[in-house]
Amino acid sequence: MGTVFKRTSTKPLPVGAELFSRKGQRLAKWQDTKGRTRTVAVVVPTEGKFVGQERIVVETPTFFADYRDGNGHLRRVATGCKDETAARAVLAGLEKRAEKVRSGIITTAENAMADHQHTALADHLAEFIATMQAAGRAESHVTGTERLIQRVIDELSLRRLSDIQAAKVERWLGQQTLAQLDKPAMGARTRNSYLVALRSFCNWCVERDRLPFNPLARINHADEKVDQRRQRRALTEAELSKLLIVARLRPLAEFGRETVTTPSQDTRTRQKRSRATWTLKPLKFDELPDAVELARERLRDNPTFLARQERLGIERALAYKLAVTTGLRRGELASLTVGQLDLDDDFPHVRLKAADEKNRQGNSIPLRRDVADELREWVSSLRNGGADSANVLAFRRDAVAVELPASTRLLTIPKAFCRILDRDLKAAGIPKRDDRGRTIDVHALRHTFGTMLSVAGVAPRVAQAAMRHSSIDLTMNAYTDPRLLDVQGAVESLPSISTTTSDPNENRQRIAAGAETFTPSAVAVLVAVPTDFSRDSQSTAVTLDAFPTETTFAKTLDASSDRATKNARCSMKTASVSKGGQADLNRRPPDPQSGALTT
C-alpha cells in the first residue's frame, strides 16, 4: 500500500523571527513578505553541515507518493497535487498500472513510456542535447538544434511530450511562412531545418522508449527548389584573379585611403576636425597600388605594424586560393593544422580529420603543386617567426627557425570571414549579387571549385570525388554554375550532319529512326521488295527529283517495281502523299490474300 506525504526540508531562521516553546516543542514566529504571520517548528540538526544550528522546518507545497512498481522496486514520485485527495487519486493510478505490469497486461517498456509522459519536456531536451554531445556532434550543430527546438517549445507553450502534436507544429510552421511587421517570412529551407530538428528529437524519444511513435513523421517538407532565398554563383576566372589581388593588397591599402569632405548641412556648425565633416574614400581596384604606396609612406615610422598588414594580406590571399582549389568549407579550412600537411610527397595533399569534416569520414585532399609551394613557403615563415601567424618577424631572413608543434593552426580564419570577403568583393568591383539574384559568399568559393572542374572537362564521377559529395546530382546541379559552361562551344564541336547521302544502308537507318525531316525533293526513297521471303530482301533506290502530282509519284514507284514483280507476286499500291508534300514511306506487312505490300 502506497502513501502520500509532503517532503520537508530545513531553512535558516528568518530575520526577526521570535522563538518560543509550546507543549515542549520549539517554534518560530515571524511575518512573511505579504504581512502574514507564520509559525513553524524549529529543529537543530545532529548531522550534516548544519549541525548545531537552529533551523525552521518547511514543507513542499505539493504531495509526493511512495509505492512499489511492477518489478517490486520502491519508487517515490511527485504527484504535482496540492490537494491530498487528488494526490491519492494519482497514487491509485500508479498502483493500478504496477499491477498490470506484474500480471503481464502491459510490458515494462510501455510502463516506462507512461512514466516519461509526466516528465517535463525541458528535461527530455536536456538529455537529448547531452546525447548529441556524447556522440561527438559538432558544437555548432548541437547549439543550432537546441535553439530551434527551444523556440518551438517556447512559442507553442509545450510542457510534456504529449503536447507535441502534428497539427500544432504544422500550424506554427505555416504561420512562419507569412510575412509579419517585425520579421520577414520564413524560407522553405529554414522551415525544413525546424522540422528536421524536431523530428530528430522525437525519433530519439522513440528510440529511448519515451514515445510510442514520432508524431511529426507525416509532416511534409517544404519545396526548397520553389522557394530559394539564397542562390550562390561561381566566380569567373577574371573575378577570381581580381579577388586574390585585392585580398593581397587591401589590408595595407586600408591605411592609404584618402579623406573626402562629407556633404552635410551641419558641416558649418561643427568643428573643422570633427569626424562628421569627413570620411575615408572607398577603395577601388584601379587605385589599390596608389593606396598601398601612400600607406607605406604613412607607416614608415611603424615598420612592425606595416609588416603585420603585409603578412595579413598574404595569409588572406592564400586562404582564398586554398579554398577555391580544394573545395574546403570554411570550418574545414579553419581546422587545418601544420601537422595535416604532406607537401613533400609525390602527390602533395592535406589530411582532413574526420572530426573536422562535414560527413565525419576524413579525406586526403590533393593540392595543386603551385599551391603546395606557397603553403611550403608559408609554413617556413611560421617556423622562422614562431607559432603566431601574425608575427611580424616571420619574413626576416635573420629570424631563427623554430620547430612548430603539429597542432599549430595553418591559417587564421575569423568568424567574420564572410564580412571580410564582402569588403574584398566591393574593392575588386565584383557585385555581391548578380542580375539573377545569386550571391557570393565564402561557400561560393566551393561552388567556384566545382564549376572549374566542369569547365576543365573533368569527368562527373571524378568531380564528385573531388567535391566529396554523396550524390553526383548535387555536384552537377547545385555546385556547377551553368553560366560559366561553354555550351556554345560544346554545340559547335558536334559533327556536321548532312541530309543527303549516297549510302543506301545509312539512308535506311536514318529514315527508320526518324532522325530528320525529309523533303521529297532531297531524299532517296528506298523501296524494298522481297523476291524470296526465305532469303534476304533486295532494295532498289529510286530518286525523286520532283513531286508535281500524286499520280506522277505513283508512276515512278510503279516503274521501279515492275521488274521485281516478275519473280515475286507482290505489287506496290499508290503511295499516299500528305498535304505538306511528304510521302508515307512506312513499310507494312504483305497482304496474305494479294501478296502485295499495302500502304
Domains and CATH numbers, the chain: 1-106 (no CATH), 121-207 (1.10.150.130), 233-262+278-491 (1.10.443.10), 499-599 (no CATH)
| 5-9, 81-85, 487-491, 543-547: least confident range | 543-547
Report residue 354 CA to chain centroid gap: 18
- Identify the pLDDT of residue 489: 66
Arithmetic mean of pLDDT, 465-478: 84
Is residue 466 within 8 A of residue 485, CB to CB? The reply is no
| Per-position DSSP letters for 407-448, written without gaps between them | T-BSS---TTHHHHHHHHHHHHT--SB-TTS-B--TTHHHHH
d(Cα 50, Cα 287) in Å, to the nearest integer? 76
Q: Is the pLDDT confidence value at 574 over 50?
A: no
Residue 225: its pLDDT value, please?
Answer: 78
46 has pLDDT over 70: yes
Question: Residue 134, exposed/middle/buried by CB under 10 A (0-12, 13-18, 19+)?
Answer: exposed
Q: Is the pLDDT of residue 404 over 90?
A: no
35-40 mean pLDDT: 89
Is the pLDDT at 583 greater than 50? The verdict is no
| Percentage, residues of the chain above pLDDT 70 | 75
**Does residue 92 have a pLDDT over 50?**
yes
Q: Which residues contact 273 (CB under 8 A, 6 or more apart)?
A: none
For residue 41, the SS3 value is strand
Residues forming beta bridges with residue 352, ordered by sequence position: 363
Whole-model pTM?
A: 0.60
- pLDDT, one tens digit per residue, over 411-461 is 999 989 999 999 999 999 999 998 888 899 999 999 999 999 888 888 888
Q: pLDDT tens, 530-552?
A: 444 344 434 334 333 443 444 44
Q: Select the more confidently predicted residue: 513 or 154.
A: 154
Give the 3-state secondary structure of 315-357.
HHHHHHHHHHHHCCCHHHHHHCEHHHEECCCCCCEEEECHHHC
d(CA 451, CA 239): 14
What is the rounded average pLDDT for all residues in the chain?
Answer: 79
Q: Which amino acid type is present at position 223?
A: D
pLDDT at 19 over 60: yes
Query: What's the CA gap between 250 and 427, in Å, rounded?
Result: 8
- Name the CA dihedral angle for 169, 172, 178, 183, rounded to a multiple of 10 degrees: -120
Under a CB-based contact definition with an 8 Å cutoff, are residues 195 and 216 in contact?
Answer: yes
For position 458, what pLDDT does the model report?
Answer: 87
Bridge partner residues of 64 (DSSP): 5, 78
Q: Quick one: which of 257, 277, 278 has its CA closest to 268?
A: 277
Identify the pLDDT of residue 500. 53
Query: What's the rounded mean pLDDT across residues 28-47?
Result: 88
Better pLDDT: 515 or 278: 278
Q: CA–CA distance from 491 to each of 329, 356, 487, 498 (Å)?
A: 34, 42, 6, 16
What is the reported pLDDT for 355?
83
Amino acid at 497: I
pLDDT at 119: 86
Kindly report the number of other CB atoms within 10 A of residue 541's CB atom: 12
